[in-house]
């Protein structure tokens, strides 16, 4: 099974900050990686697929990069609506989620 290690688990930041989350796969997943945002009591929302492809309607301050086993997700300027939990997901072999990163207000 492919394991996804996401870090950090919690991130404290202020509005306007640049924040980066990393995700490491236990084996090569090429670029078969997605990023989701989840707010309390809500279903996850797809932000990025294929490591760096931004979904339609998602603000350009969100971006993703990486391939193979190392990936990153960046919010260039944190906005009030961005405080949430973010998950990476590999879909190279079945599906595995990272443990999640809670972005909280500093």
Partner 1 sequence: EVQLVESGGDLVQPGGSLRLSCAASGFTFSDYWMHWVRQAPGKGLVWVSRINSDESITSYADSVKGRFTISRDNAKNTLYLQMNSLRAEDTAVFYCARSTGASFFHHWGPGTLVTVSS
d(CA 4, CA 8): 13
Pick the closer one to partner 1 by CB: 53 or 79: 53
Q: How far is the CB of 98 from partner 1 (least distance, A)?
A: 8
DSSP for residue 55: P
Pick the closer one to partner 1 by CB: 33 or 75: 33
Angstrom CA distances, 19 to 33, 58, 61, 62, 74, stand at: 19, 17, 10, 10, 6
What is the token pair recorded at 40? 């309390």
Q: How far is the CB of 87 from partner 1 (least distance, A)?
A: 6
Residues engaged in binding partner 1 (CB under 8 A) = 1, 32, 34, 36, 38, 42-46, 49, 55, 87, 89, 91, 94-100
Pick the closer one to partner 1 by CB: 36 or 73: 36
Q: How far is the CB of 33 from partner 1 (least distance, A)?
A: 8
Give the DSSP H or E segment for 34.
strand 33-38
């Amino acid at each position: 099974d492919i394991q996804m290690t996401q870090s950090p688990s919690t991130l404290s930041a202020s509005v306007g900050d640049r924040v980066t989350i990393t995700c490491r796969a236990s084996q090569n997943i090429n670029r078969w990686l997605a990023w989701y945002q989840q707010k309390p009591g809500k279903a996850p929302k797809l932000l990025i697929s294929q490591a760096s492809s931004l979904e339609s309607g998602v603000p350009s301050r969100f971006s993703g990069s990486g391939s193979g086993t190392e990936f990153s997700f960046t919010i260039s300027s944190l906005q009030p609506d961005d405080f949430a939990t973010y998950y990476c997901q590999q879909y190279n072999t079945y599906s595995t989620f990272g443990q999640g990163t809670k972005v909280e207000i500093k």
